[in-house]
Amino acid sequence: MNAVEIEEAISALAEQPFDPDEFPYAFLEAFGRKSTEIKRLRSGHSNKSDLDGVLQRNHIHIKTCALGTVKETLDALRDSAATAKGKAKFILATDGQTLEAEDLSSDVPPIVCDYPEFPDHFGFFLPLAGISTVKQIRESAFDIKATGRLNRLYVELLKDNPEWGTSERRHDMNHFMARLIFCFFAEDTDIFSKADLFTSTIETMSAPDSSNTHEVIGELFKAMNTKPEDRAGAGRARWASVFPYVNGGLFSGSTDVPRFSRISRSYLLHIGNLDWKKINPDIFGSMIQAVADDEERGALGMHYTSVPNILKVLNPLFLDDLREKLEEAGDNTRKLLNLRNRMARIRVFDPACGSGNFLVIAYKEMRAIEAELNQRRGEGDRRSEIPLTNFRGIELRDFPAEIARLALIIAEYQCDVRHRGQKEALAEFLPLDAKNWITCGNALRLDWLSICPPTGTGVKMHSEDLFSTPLDQAEIDFENEGGETYVCGNPPFKGARKQSAEQKSDLAFIFQGGNDYKDCDYVAGWYLKGAAFLTVTKGALAFVSTSSVCEGEQVQHIWSRVFDSGSKIIFAHRPFAWRNNASNIAMVTCVIVGLGADTARVLGVFDDETLKHCHSVSPYLIPGEPIFVTAQKAPVSANLNQIVSGSMPRDGGNLLLGNTEKQELEAKAPGASKFLRRYSGTSELTNGTIRWCLWIEDGDLGAAKAIPEVAERIRAVEAFRLQSKAKTTNGYARIPHKFAQRSHKNGNAIIVSATSSQNREYLPADWINDQVIVSNAAYVVYGGELSQFACLVSRLHLAWVATVCGRMKTDYRYSKTLGWNTFPIPPLTEKNKADLNRCAEDILLAREAHFPATIADLYDPAKMPADLRAAHDRNDEVLERIYIGRRFRNDTERLEKLFDLYIRMTTGKGKKAG
DNA sequence: GATCCGACATGGA
DNA sequence: TCCATGTCGGATC
């Protein structure tokens, strides 16, 4: 069940007469507990309550009680031994009049409410349904409720008016929904002259059989699109005359209304009776997207960007600066006036605005600054100078674009009420004068300059150089020329392998030449286009994006272009986990990157909210020069051998065997032993698990196939490869007895894991012998010397790999071309090599001394044995002395030196921008 | 619920 | 044909 469904179920339960015996089960059912679980609870089988209530282990302890004893009951539940033993997260007591509940697992304040109101707190219990969500969504019961109700209406209307669901009319449908939402909001906030005016007018004027509902609503919409003085002439119905003139793009155009059935009419009235004052424009947009989108509804608020995350973009981009200027101005009226004039000219542009989250927050924050400013100037009720039309957006999907516009209008009204007072807010709210300033279209194809033209030039720019097709739409003039433009947003992330053909072609269009776009995330398009935009606009830019744009492969493709176009990184947030909704949504790791023209001031790098000031930010989001490494085919350091990735089976698991599987096979077919080899990936290397693989040379194929069990496995590999959708894999079906990619060589070798936990201080690496087949989960240096092992397990190398290689989530991902081949080592003397060899031996000896501890045990930072740590310290000391004659102070210094050396060793291969 | 890391599609050379 | 990388979700404690 999703949040909307739960909200509906809970609301339905609260409307039923209270049944003390049934309530606990009905409550659990409403939160999506399975009927089998509930059956077992009813039978007492799994009910662990010691208070004659209902206790579902790990979830909740519920007890219904006699009138007036709720508090005592809750106390008893809290003190109950069973509550503790059953690890109940929640306790809940109710007598049918009041309801009290506590979340024992967190410090969320407890609930005390009248019984009929408890559905308003359903977010409190969402963890019962396995939905862990951010606070803002949990606390937005109203927005979830409204979304659910609107969706029901939407679906019902489309059922009765199928043509409204077609692509030609979908826009009308969405526009109609936006109008409805506006009217519901207006009638609950005194924007309409009487409370519930809209809903009650429909209720009284339309027939209960719903036959003329669409006409009544259409008449109201027409009235709101006609100036009062023109209404008589236009033949507007008299009963609609109490409605104000609204227009502002919202009511212009077609006033067609879909036809209503009895059911949809009753849904409509029901929705109208909700209290729309509670709507929260910060987030209602991202919720309400779910109304028109099945996928969104499954994961309510999946595009919700939390306010703190939005502020991570907006504060360093420009809001902090405005606040500083406000501080500096103190009570100096002249300075305050200058600041106000500056703010009135600022444009905020979100070229991936969704339902307008960033624009709404930017607007509200600026209004708060302006309000403080006006207070200091003694003009507390002054009309705002910040024009809504300076907040521009582009959004691909129609419904969110409609909602973005509406959310801004509502935000403006709410800001007026907050900062100036209800009376002033009302006096100037209507008619809406803003036209359509959220553009619906593909941001990577539209001309940003015509949507958000550069200011102060007096010249309308349309630049085909800026990767744009001209916009075929009337331009909306900005108010107040000559200001700064701040571009912000959270553009869609789509990995290179996840993009549709259109998205691929969007990127190809923006990258203009080269095919490195094929390896880039979709969000890269926004950075490139944004950087081009900055060349002609005064201002700055910052986007939230997937961390991979600043890791590994993509760095060279994206940032070389951004730097070449004359932008630099002015601030950045280091990778952070993006939690927005249900736990079933994959956790994404994000960064925020802020760009400015080459002349812009640089702020620094945020790591977990802490700002580290610096004069230059590297595309790897550390303080440092704008240098990036490019993939190298061979090691740039003379002392390193080639490294290869391990052998890749692509076998559907059929060539691989666990230890017991191997023993079973050998018991049945002793002849199979000669085809079995130890198989080592990362897990085998670090955790000491044992696996085996079938390794059959072409000449042995006949002998291998003579063993039925082996022949069967070979057939399974063939079948697996044939049914793969990758052409290359299909090709390997011809050699089903072999790994798809084979890099095995005989002889001793160094093995290093391809992925490693971020928590380790050294990369897991080891010596292996030639009996072992290394899997593609690891890399191997065949014939490498111990001194190379010493480099591999050094702190210096880890610092390099952590910075320039890709990542798996936040863990390290080793790379041949970016990690090993680029690692710069100064020329080594024979003595250097001998010293490093000794260090490597010492490390291996120290490990051996702790046999049978695994690498995972030995390298757990909390448990690392002192002798092993000392051996590593000596290794680091010896290696670092080769670089600078002493140990480095920290990783910052290590990276500075490494980048410097890298550039010197790759002249012409790595570029330095600027 | 945090931590770790496997398996392969994909596309470049 | 050969080979390197990102992905992100799944296994495992």
CA of A734 to C1' of C1 (A): 13
Residue A516 has pLDDT above 60, yes or no: yes
- A601 sits in the region (left: phi over 0; alpha: psi -120 to 50; else beta) called beta
The contacts of residue A640 (CB under 8 Å, 6+ apart) are: A781, A784, A788, A791, A820, A821, A823, A825
Place of tokens 């052998």: A647
- Find, among A891, A889, A905, A908, the residue nearest to A825 by Cα: A905
A840 part of a folded domain:
yes
Residue A56 forms beta bridges with which residues?
A47, A60
CA of A48 to C1' of C5 (A): 52
Please report the pLDDT score of residue A487 as a whole number.
97
User: Across residues A117-136, what is the average pLDDT?
Assistant: 75
User: Across residues A402-413, what is the average pLDDT?
Assistant: 89
Residue A95 has pLDDT above 80, yes or no: yes
Residues A578 and A474 in one domain: no
Please report the pLDDT score of residue A23 as a whole number.
95
**Distance of alpha carbon A469 from the chain centroid:** 29
CA of A850 to C1' of B6 (A): 28
A748 part of a folded domain:
yes
CA of A12 to C1' of B13 (A): 63
Residues A443 and A496 in one domain: no
Which nucleotides of chain B are near protein (any atom < 7 Å from a CB)?
1, 3-12
Residues A553 and A700 in one domain: no
Please report the pLDDT score of residue A297 as a whole number.
57
Q: Which residue's alpha carbon is at the shortest distance from the C1' of C8?
A: A586
- The tokens for A280 are 């929260």
Please report the pLDDT score of residue A481 as a whole number.
60
Q: Closest nt to A494 (CA→C1')? A: C7
The DSSP bridge pattern shows strands A539-546 and A485-489 to be parallel
Residue A369 has pLDDT above 90, yes or no: yes
Residue A543 forms beta bridges with which residues?
A489, A593
Q: Which residue's alpha carbon is at the shortest distance from the C1' of B8?
A: A650
CA of A590 to C1' of C7 (A): 15
User: Across residues A830-859, what is the average pLDDT?
Assistant: 95
A633 part of a folded domain:
no
Band (pLDDT 50/70/90 cuts) for residue A439 is very high
Q: Which residue's alpha carbon is at the shortest distance from the C1' of B11?
A: A518
Residues A658 and A618 in one domain: no
- The tokens for A173 are 């449908």
Q: Which helix (H) or strand (E) holds A458?
A: none
A870 part of a folded domain:
yes
The contacts of residue A594 (CB under 8 Å, 6+ apart) are: A313, A316, A317, A540, A541, A542, A569, A570, A571, A572, A603
A288 part of a folded domain:
no
User: Across residues A133-160, what is the average pLDDT?
Assistant: 81
Please report the pLDDT score of residue A583 as a whole number.
41
A292 part of a folded domain:
no
Residues A653 and A802 in one domain: yes
Q: Closest nt to A548 (CA→C1')? A: C6
Distance CA A409, CA A429 (A): 9
Q: Which residue's alpha carbon is at the shortest distance from the C1' of C3?
A: A741
Residues A433 and A317 in one domain: yes
A289 part of a folded domain:
no
Please report the pLDDT score of residue A450 as a whole number.
87
Q: What is the pLDDT of residues A270-317, one digit of tens each?
A: 999 999 988 887 777 777 777 777 666 555 555 667 788 899 999 999
Band (pLDDT 50/70/90 cuts) for residue A582 is very low
Band (pLDDT 50/70/90 cuts) for residue A473 is very low
- The tokens for A475 are 């331009």
Residues A24 and A156 in one domain: no
Q: Check if the beta carbon of residue A92 is closer than 8 Å to that of residue A124.
A: no
Per-residue H/E/C for A269-316: HHHHCCCHHHCCHHHHHHHHHHHHCHHHHHCCCCCCCCHHHHHHHHHH
Q: What is the pLDDT of residues A196-226, one digit of tens each?
A: 999 999 999 999 999 999 999 999 999 999 9
Please report the pLDDT score of residue A108 as a whole number.
79
Whether A631 sits with its Cβ under 7 A from any strand C atom: the answer reads: yes
- The tokens for A772 are 């072992």
Q: Check if the beta carbon of residue A95 is closer than 8 Å to that of residue A69.
A: yes
Dihedral sign computed on CA atoms, order A150, A155, A161, A165: positive
- Find, among A841, A846, A877, the residue nearest to A859 by Cα: A846
Helix (H, G, I), strand (E, B) or coil at A114: strand
CA of A713 to C1' of C7 (A): 28
Residue A907 forms beta bridges with which residues?
A910
- Find, among A227, A214, A218, A216, the residue nearest to A255 by Cα: A218
Q: Which of A100, A131, A162 is the last residue of a domain?
A: A131
Residues A672 and A761 in one domain: yes
Residues A613 and A497 in one domain: yes
Whether A748 sits with its Cβ under 7 A from any strand C atom: the answer reads: no
Which range among A216-220, A345-349, A379-383, A877-881 shows the weakest confidence by mean pLDDT? A379-383
CA of A493 to C1' of C7 (A): 13
Please report the pLDDT score of residue A130 as a whole number.
66
Cis peptide before A431 (omega within 30 of 0): yes
Q: Check if the beta carbon of residue A804 is closer than 8 Å to that of residue A782.
A: no
Whether A7 sits with its Cβ under 7 A from any strand C atom: the answer reads: no
Q: Closest nt to A643 (CA→C1')? A: C4
Place of tokens 């691989």: A656
Our count of domains for chain A comes to: 5
Residues A651 and A614 in one domain: no
Please report the pLDDT score of residue A465 as a whole number.
42
- The protein residues having a beta carbon less than 7 Å from any atom of strand B are A 132, 496-497, 515, 518-519, 583, 648-653, 656, 681-684, 686-687, 720, 724-726, 728-729, 753-760, 764, 775-778, 808-809, 811, 856
Residue A751 has pLDDT above 70, yes or no: yes
Residues A819 and A780 in one domain: yes
**Distance of alpha carbon A441 from the chain centroid:** 22
Residues A332 and A387 in one domain: yes
Q: Check if the beta carbon of residue A55 is closer than 8 Å to that of residue A49.
A: yes
Q: Which of A262, A279, A296 is the last residue of a domain?
A: A279
A51 part of a folded domain:
yes
Band (pLDDT 50/70/90 cuts) for residue A479 is low
Q: What is the pLDDT of residues A334-366, one digit of tens each?
A: 999 999 999 999 999 999 998 899 999 999 999
Distance CA A171, CA A162 (A): 14
Q: Which helix (H) or strand (E) holds A461?
A: none
* Residue at A822: amino acid letter: T
Stronger pLDDT, A798 or A513, i.e. the higher one: A798
Whether A616 sits with its Cβ under 7 A from any strand C atom: the answer reads: no
Band (pLDDT 50/70/90 cuts) for residue A466 is very low
Helix (H, G, I), strand (E, B) or coil at A539: strand
Place of tokens 């003694």: A378
Band (pLDDT 50/70/90 cuts) for residue A377 is very high
Distance CA A72, CA A84 (A): 18
Residue A752 has pLDDT above 70, yes or no: yes
CA of A664 to C1' of C10 (A): 27
Please report the pLDDT score of residue A455 as a whole number.
65
Distance CA A306, CA A297 (A): 18
Distance CA A268, CA A146 (A): 11
Whether A625 sits with its Cβ under 7 A from any strand C atom: the answer reads: no
How would DSSP label each residue in A373-387? HHHHTT-TTPPP---
Dihedral pair phi/psi, residue A870, rounded to 5°: -65, -40
Residue A462 has pLDDT above 70, yes or no: no
Helix (H, G, I), strand (E, B) or coil at A775: strand
Q: Which of A246, A263, A279 is the last residue of a domain?
A: A279
Please report the pLDDT score of residue A399 as a whole number.
85
CA of A570 to C1' of C10 (A): 38
Residue A455: which domain range?
304-487
Place of tokens 């609950």: A188
Residue A605 has pLDDT above 90, yes or no: yes
CA of A688 to C1' of C12 (A): 15
Distance CA A639, CA A879 (A): 13
Please report the pLDDT score of residue A912 as a whole number.
36
Band (pLDDT 50/70/90 cuts) for residue A581 is very low
Q: Closest nt to A861 (CA→C1')? A: B3
Which range among A504-513, A662-671, A902-911 shows the weakest confidence by mean pLDDT? A902-911
- A486 sits in the region (left: phi over 0; alpha: psi -120 to 50; else beta) called beta
Q: Check if the beta carbon of residue A788 is closer than 8 Å to that of residue A641.
A: yes
Q: Which residue's alpha carbon is at the shortest distance from the C1' of B10?
A: A497
User: Across residues A11-16, what is the average pLDDT?
Assistant: 91
Which nucleotides of chain C are near protein (any atom < 7 Å from a CB)?
1-9
Which range among A28-37, A112-121, A158-167 shows the weakest confidence by mean pLDDT? A28-37
Q: Check if the beta carbon of residue A450 is closer than 8 Å to that of residue A536.
A: no
Residue A114 forms beta bridges with which residues?
A98
Please report the pLDDT score of residue A303 as a whole number.
61
The DSSP bridge pattern shows strands A807-808 and A811-813 to be antiparallel
Whether A660 sits with its Cβ under 7 A from any strand C atom: the answer reads: no
Q: What is the pLDDT of residues A700-747, one digit of tens each?
A: 999 999 999 999 999 999 999 998 888 889 999 999 999 999 999 888
Average pLDDT in chain A: 88
